[in-house]
Amino acid sequence: MVVKDRVGRSRYIAFEVASEKELKTGDLINTIKKVASKYDDAEKIRPWLIMFKKGKGIARCSHTARDECINLLQSIQSVGGNSVRIKTLGTSGTVRGARRKYLEGKVDED
C-alpha cells in the first residue's frame, strides 16, 4: 500500500530558549527568517513561529523538513544581540499535541 504525500502537512517543534535577558518575540521571528534565508531549501522548510512565551515556544515547519528545521533552530546563537541556546523538546503533528506533550505546565509555571 502506498500512502500519498499530502500537500501542506506540518510538524510543530516545541523548544526552549536559554538566554540571560528576556527575548522579544519580534526579534526571534526576525532571526528565524534571517537564518532560514541562508538555507538553500528554505522553501522546503517553511519555518514559522507559532507561539513564544517565557522562553518557550513552538515553531511550525514542513513535515518533510523536520530535521532541517530542528538544525536551523539549534544553529541560532544570537537573538536581538543576546547570546542564546535553543534546545528542542520534541515534535508533534498538531499544535495541541506539542503544547500538551512538551509545554503544558512549563509555560504557566515560570
Query: Is 80 exposed, middle or buried, given 0-12, 13-18 or 19+ CB atoms closer than 10 A?
Result: middle
Cβ proximity of 17 and 86 under 8 Å? yes
Which pTM value belongs to this model?
0.85
* Domains assigned to the chain: 10-109 (3.30.70.3250)
Query: pLDDT (tens digit, 9 = 90+) per residue, 55-101?
Result: 999 999 988 899 999 999 999 999 999 999 999 999 999 999 999 99
3-state secondary structure of 50: strand
pLDDT score recorded for residue 51? 95
Nearest in space to 65 (alpha carbons), one of 16, 9, 103: 9
**Cβ proximity of 17 and 89 under 8 Å:** no
pLDDT at 102 over 80: yes
List pLDDT tens digits, range 22-42. 999 999 999 999 999 888 877
